[in-house]
Amino acid sequence: MAQIAKLRSLLMSAFGPALAIVLLALFAGYAVLGSNGILAWGDYSRALEERRDDLAKVRAERDRLKNRVDLVDPRRADPDMVDELVRRELNVGHPDEVIVPLR
């Protein structure tokens, strides 16, 4: 009976530190393997590079469209651009003209 009491007191005194070690191991495992952990860093870096590439493409498209808008600005319209837009939108052309699509 004395040995059982000794064993019980030993287990009860070891329960707190054992629980703390298990919790620390869980936190450490989540810090390494979790969705925001160290191993996910590579995925975030790859996703960031993809987003930067997408952003560069969108900015280039925005600049291209801005240039076209500037060319048809009523205050300083480019005659060639206006002529191109009018002919394309109204489907107007002379019989002797040849239209060469660039795209």
Q: Which domain holds residue 13?
A: 1-33
* Residue at 100 is within a domain: no
Q: Number of structural domains, the chain? A: 2
Tell me how crowded residue 36 is: count the other CB atoms within 10 A of its CB.
9
Tell whether 56 and 75 lie within a shared domain: yes
Query: Does this model's pTM top 0.75?
Result: no
Amino acid at the residue 33: L
CA–CA distance from 32 to each of 24, 29, 35, 46 (Å)?
12, 5, 9, 18
pLDDT tens digits, one per residue of 47-93: 999 999 999 999 999 999 998 888 888 888 888 888 878 887 887 77
